[in-house]
Every structure is written in structure tokens, then in C-alpha cells.
A and B are shown apart, each in its own frame.
Chain A
Amino acid sequence: MSENTKFFILLALLIASIALLVYLNDGANQLLLKH
């Protein structure tokens, strides 16, 4: 696998990880706030 392909895969994984982190820190709390 070329370094370019690796870069795009890792970038996508990083974005997905950050999105999950933000969801767990804020999104889940927002869900809880509805109760």
C-alpha cells in the first residue's frame, strides 16, 4: 500500500475517531438532557 493511500485511510479514521469522541462527550449528554 502506498503512503498516499495510507494517509487518506488514516485521515478518515482520525476524523471518525474525533467524531465519536465529540458525540460521546457532548452528543450523549444532550440525549441525557432530554430526561
Chain B
Amino acid sequence: MKIKQHITLHRVNNVLFALIILINVYIIAAPILPRVTFWWDSHHTARRSQLTQLIHQAPSSQPAPRSNSLIIPAMMLNSPTLEGPESNWFNLLKAGIWRWPDSSTPDKGGNTVFLAHRFSYTGPHGAFYYLDKLKPGDEIGVIWNNKTYTYKVASSREVPPTETSIEDNTTDARLTLFTCTPLWNPKDRLVVVAELEKQS
């Protein structure tokens, strides 16, 4: 009886040991998982080219009506954009990409500002996790009222949160995307500015 108990406890201990190892391997690997996932999606799936095609598809070949959304192939992003008042900022940012209500819209020209969190590399509260991957020349598509607006990234820079001029309206049609940076101590803002190239 005692030997049987000993064998059972030994097996339980083995299971506990395996669980501890698994959890800790995950904890150690967690910081590099977003990079590995991004690398895999960019090099071994057709997602990037599918998103590029989505931007360049003729509007007539697309099912209507389409919800307002942001398509960024270089970030593997295709996500709806949200509208709402500043008083509800916390819930809107938790739910995804929010258009700054005081900013313009793509159909009106001027400066259209979108912002989102980067708390996780998956899910809506991490929509702009890969915003730092954008480089000058990368394409951004905005679906707005069933029209597609194509922008090209012009610049990417970091500014302190006090620099609110990034939200100011402009005479040229542009897109401003911003999120917090750096990832684990987000004291600044990462700002990407893109210029309108065409609309269809």
C-alpha cells in the first residue's frame, strides 16, 4: 500500500515538474513570440499580399457596404475603425482603432488622426503593436464610406505626449497614426505620418 502511494506521488511530482517547466518556458519565450509570429506571417503566409490586393481592388468588385477600416499590409493589419466622443476614450481604445473626434476624415482632406493601443500583439487592444514596423514608402489603405483612400508613409518619429500639434489640422490630405512607445514603459508617442496618394 505504501509503495503504491509512493509511486502515485512520484507520478504527481513528475506532472507538477513538467507543468512548471512549460509555464516558465512560455514566460521566457513570451517577449520574442510577437517577433516570431510577425516574421512567420510575413515570410510564410500570403496575408501581406492579400492585404495589398484588398487596397488595390476595384471598388466595384468589393461587396458593399464596407465598414470603415484601416488596411496596412506592412503591419498585417486589417481592422475596423471606431468613432466616438473623447469622453469614452478608454472603452474605444480598448476596443480597437479610434479616430480622434476633433480630426478630419479622409473624404474631407486635412489631417485624419487614428490612434490605438499596443498592449498585446493580438486582439483589438493591440492594433498598433507593429506600428514601429512602418517605413517611408509603405502603403496604407483607408476604407471610408465605401471609398478606398491610399496613403504612403512619409515619416515615423517619436514625440513627447505634450506635443499635441500632431493632432492639428493641415492644408494637405494626410493620415496621422499614433500609439504609445516604448512598449513596456510607454512615456512617449510613436507617430507615423502618411500622405494621400490616390482615392478610388
A positions within 8 Å CB-CB of B: 3-4, 6-7, 10-11, 13-14, 17-18, 20-21, 24, 28-29, 32-33, 35
Contact = CB atoms under 8 A, between A and B. Distances in A.
A20 B6 CA distance: 30
Give the contact-size bracket for chain B.
20 to 34
A4 to B, nearest CB: 7
B16 interface: yes
A20 to B, nearest CB: 6
Contacts of B26: 21
Interface of B: 6, 9-10, 12-13, 16-17, 19-20, 23-24, 26-27, 30, 119-120, 180, 184, 186-187
A6 B13 contact: yes
B23 A7 contact: no
23 contacts: A3-B6, A7-B12, A7-B16, A10-B13, A10-B16, A10-B20, A11-B16, A13-B20, A14-B16, A14-B19, A14-B20, A14-B23, A17-B23, A17-B24, A17-B27, A21-B23, A21-B27, A28-B184, A32-B119, A32-B180, A35-B180, A35-B186, A35-B187
Contacts of B17: 10
